[in-house]
Amino acid sequence: MYWEKDIETASRQTLSQLQFSRLRETLTQLSHKSEFYQKKFREQGVTVDSIRSLDDVRRLPFTTSADLRAQYPDKLNIVDKDHLLRLHTSSGTTGKPKALFFSRKDIEILTNNFARCLTMVGCTPKDVFQNMMTYGLFTGALMSHYGAERVGMLAIPAGPGNSERQLMLMQDFGTTVAHATPSYALYFANFVEKKGLDPAKDISLRILLVGAESYTEETRRKIEKTFDADVFNCYGLSEMGGPGVGFECTAKNGIHLWEDTYLIEIIDPKTLEVLPPGEVGELVITSINREAMPILRYRTGDLTRIIPEPCPCGRTHIRVDRLKGRADDMIIVKGANIYPQQIERVLMKTEGVGRNYLIHLQGLDEMIIKVELDANAFDGQVSKLESMQKSITERIRAEVQVKPVVELLAPGTLPVSEGKTKRVIDNRSL
Amino acid sequence: MSNNLTESKETEVKLLSVFAENKPGVLAKATQALAEAQVSILWFKIIDGAGDKYGIIRFLVDHTQEGIAALKNSGFAIATSPILAVVADDNPGSLSKLTAALYEGKVDIRNGSGYYLNRRVVLIIETQQMEAARTILNQLGYKILTSAEIKALSNKKCS
C-alpha cells in the first residue's frame, strides 16, 4: 500500500532533480538568513552557485550535535517567530538540550511523511493506534500521533509506562497498532504474562512500530513471536524532525529514508570522506525541505550502510541497513572494541533468556552482564541454569574477545526507563 | 484411603521451585507472598547456584495452586516438579530399608529430604522414575501421600 505512489516510486532521475532543486533552495535561504551557515560557508569557501550537482554536497560543511548545542536557544532558526508553530528539544545527557523549531509547513511535511510510513507497513483508517512514546518535548510521540491521525486511524495518546492502563486501553478499545521502544515492548509483554494473559492471543495487536533505540534482528523476532504481530523498525531523530525519517517496508529488509525530504550520505567517521554504497559508516543527513531550521550534513552518529539493490516493495527511496548502534555506543573493555548489540545478539538467541539485560562495567575493566530469565523456560533445575550461564559466557567471549561474568536475574527485575533504555552502566575506576 | 498405582495430575504432589537472586530480602518476599495467600509451608530448602549469585528455593506447601499463583503475582519465576511424599516411621533403619528397596529396583534418587509430622516422618523423594518408585513403595506397604492428603494432614498437624 502506498500513501503517495507517485513520489514513493519516482524514478532516480526525478528524485535527483527534485533533491538538487530543493538543496539549492535550502542553500539560498541559509546564505541569506543564517549567520551560523554564512560563517561556515565562508570558512569552507563555498558559495551557493558553486554547488552544481548533488555530488557537490560533499563540499558543504558538516553540522554536529555540538553545533546545535552551541547555537541554543534559537540561532539556527531562520524564520520569523510568527511563523513558528512548535518547539521540541532533544535531550542531552549533559548540558543544554538542542532546541528544534518547526513551522506550519515543516509540521505538515513531517506529518505527511509519517502517514507514508504507516501506510507502507499496512496501517489503514480501520486501525487503532496506541502511542506508547513520551508526549512532550520529545518528538517521538507528537509527530507519530499527527501521522496516525492523518492516515485516519483512531489515535490513543497513551504515553509511556503505566502498563496496567496500557493493557486496559488495548483490551477495551481493540488496539491493533502500537508504537513503542523495544525495551518497553518486551517489558510490557512480561507484564501481560504476569496478569495470566497471553500477549499473542489475549490482545489484538497486529503491528508494532518499534524504534527510538537500536535493537537487533534477534530482538525483533522475539517481540514478533511474543505478540504474534509484525514488528517494523522505525528510524528517526529529533534533529531531523523526529520519528518518520525512515521506516521499514513490509519486506523487513532495510529502512527506506524519504529522499524528497532528506539527502543521505554515509561517511567514514574518521576521514569524513563519503563512502561508496554498501560500505558501513556514519549516516549523515541534510534536510532539503525544511523551512524554520534547515540543517546541512548532520552527523547522526548512527552506523549503517546503504543497501544498493532495488527493494521488492517498489519504492525507490534509498534503503539503509538496520542501524548497527551509534558510533558513540561503542565501549572498550580490556582493549577490545565492543558494541552492545553484539552482546544483545548472543543473548536474544539463547533459549531461556528473558527480555531485558544490562551491561555493567566495574572495578578494573570487568564486564558483568545481567540477564533476566524467561519465566516460561525456567524448570527449577540448577544444572540447567548453570549450563545456560556457561554457554552465554563462552559465546560472548567468542563474539567480543572478552570473557564476561554472566549473572542471572529474575524476570522483570531490571529497570525499564520511559525514554531510551540504558544498556551500559560504566562504573569503572580506571 | 488407598493409593492408586498411577496418580492423576491433580493428586500428584509437587514442589515449587523459585528462582531467587542472592540478595537480602528475597526469601522474605517469597514467604510473605505465601503467607498473604494463606498458604502454609511444610518444608523448604535453598539450593545455591554457581557463583553464589542466585539460588533456587524449593517449597512444599499445603495449597499448591494458590502457592503458584501467589509467587507468580509477586513476580517470581517458578517451576514445579513432581515428588513422592512417603510416610515412614521415625526409628533406626527406616530410611535404610526404603533406600535399599529403591536401589534394588534400580530407582535413582535425585534429591531426598524430609520433615516430621505427628511423630512420623514424611520423606520427600525426587526421581526420574516416579512410576517404578511408586510401585516398589506400594508393594512394601508405604503410604504415599496425595496432594489432598498433604493438605488435610497439614491442617490438623497441631492437634
Per-residue pLDDT of chain B (159 residues; tens, 9 = 90+): 344 444 555 678 999 999 998 888 999 999 999 999 999 999 999 988 777 788 899 999 999 999 999 998 888 999 999 999 999 888 888 888 889 999 998 998 888 888 888 788 899 999 999 999 999 999 989 999 998 888 887 765 443
Torsion sign (Cα): B24, B30, B33, B35:
negative
Same domain? For A324 and A350 the reply is no
> Please, where in chain B does CATH 3.30.2130.10 lie?
13-81
C-alpha cell at B115: 520433615
Residue A382 sits at the chain B interface (C-beta within 8 Å): yes
C-alpha cell at A417: 526507563
With 70 as the cut, is the pLDDT of residue A418 above it?
Answer: no
Distances (CA, A) of A168 to A149, A175, A308, B31: 22, 10, 44, 30
Q: Which stretch of A96-100, A149-153, A333-337 has the lowest confidence by average pLDDT?
A: A333-337
pLDDT for res B157 = 46
Global pTM reads 0.79
Question: End of a domain among A302, A328, A354?
Answer: A328
Alpha-helix residue ranges (DSSP H) falling in A201-259: 217-227
CATH fold, domain B13-81, is: VC0802-like (3.30.2130)
A288 shares its domain with A362: no
How close is the nearest chain A Cα to the Cα of B119, in Å? 31
For residues A287 and A374, membership in a common domain is answered with no
Q: Is the same domain home to A353 and A234?
A: no
pLDDT in tens, A241-270: 999 999 999 999 999 999 999 999 999 999
Measured between alpha carbons, how far is A116 from A257 in angstroms, rounded to an integer?
A: 11
Which residue, A44, A15, A14, is CA-closest to A30? A44
Partner-chain residue, chosen from A378, A386, A405, that has the shortest CB–CB distance to B49:
A386
- Both A305 and A176 in one domain: the answer is yes
Nearest to A48 by CA among A62, A64, A37: A37
Helix (H, G, I), strand (E, B) or coil at A107: helix
The pLDDT tens digits of the residues spanning A32-52 come to 999 999 999 999 999 999 999
A123-127, A188-192, A337-341, A417-421 — most confident range: A123-127
For residue B144, the distance in angstroms to the closest alpha carbon of chain A comes to: 23
The answer to whether the beta carbons of residues B34 and B67 sit under 8 Å apart is yes
Interface contact flag, A382 B15, Cβ < 8 Å: no
Q: What is the CATH number of the domain that holds A175?
A: 3.40.50.12780
Q: Which residues of A383-400 are buried (b: 16+ CB within 10 A; e: fewer)?
A: eebeebbeebbebbeeeb
**Average pLDDT of the segment spanning A19-37:** 98
Region at A242 (left for phi over 0; alpha for psi -120 to 50; beta for the rest): left
Range of weakest confidence among A61-75, A104-118, A122-136, A210-224: A210-224
A205 and A92 in a common domain: yes
CB-based contact A408 B53, cutoff 8 Å? yes
A281 with A370, same domain: the answer is: no
The confidence score (pLDDT) of residue A169 equals: 97
Does pLDDT of A14 surpass 90?
A: yes
Name the closest residue on chain B to residue A413, using Cα atoms: B75
Split at pLDDT 50, 70, 90, the class of A420 is: low
Task: Give Cα A268 distance to the centre of its chain.
Answer: 20
**Where on the phi/psi map is residue B8: left (φ > 0), alpha (ψ -120 to 50), or beta?**
beta
Report residue A103's pLDDT band, with 50, 70 and 90 as the boundaries: very high
User: With 90 as the cut, is the pLDDT of residue A183 above it?
Assistant: no
Element (H, E) at B45: strand B41-48
> What residue numbers bound the domain in which A232 lies?
1-328
pLDDT score, position B3: 43
Question: Which among B21, B53, B79 has the least Cβ separation from residue A380?
Answer: B79
Name the band, by pLDDT with cuts 50, 70 and 90, for residue A278: very high
**Domain count of chain A?**
2
Report the CATH superfamily, name and number, of domain B83-155. Answer: ACT domain (3.30.70.260)
Contacts of A249 (CB under 8 A, 6+ apart): A120, A121, A256, A311, A313, A315
Same domain, A412 and A281: no
Alpha helices in A319-375 (DSSP H): 340-348
Question: Do A249 and A290 sit in the same domain of this protein?
Answer: yes
For A318, which DSSP code?
Answer: -
Same domain? A140 vs A157: yes
pLDDT at A219: 92
* Range in A136-150, A356-370, B79-93, B106-120 the model is least confident about: B106-120
Q: Are residues A240 and A354 in the same domain?
A: no
The distance from CA A162 to its chain's CA centroid, rounded to whole angstroms, is 23
Partners of residue A375 in chain B, C-beta under 8 Å: 72, 77-78
DSSP secondary structure of A142-171:
HHHHHHHHHHT-EEE---S--HHHHHHHHH
**Do A373 and B20 make contact, defined as CB atoms within 8 angstroms?**
no
Give the domain-ending residue among A310, A328, A346: A328
Select from A262, A312, A306, A331 the least CA-distant residue to A109. Answer: A262
A102 plus A219 within the same structural domain: yes
Give the pLDDT confidence score for residue B1 in this predicted structure.
Answer: 39
**Closest CB from B76, B79, B80 relative to A410:** B76
Q: Select the residue of B47, B53, B56 nearest A407 (Cβ to Cβ).
A: B53
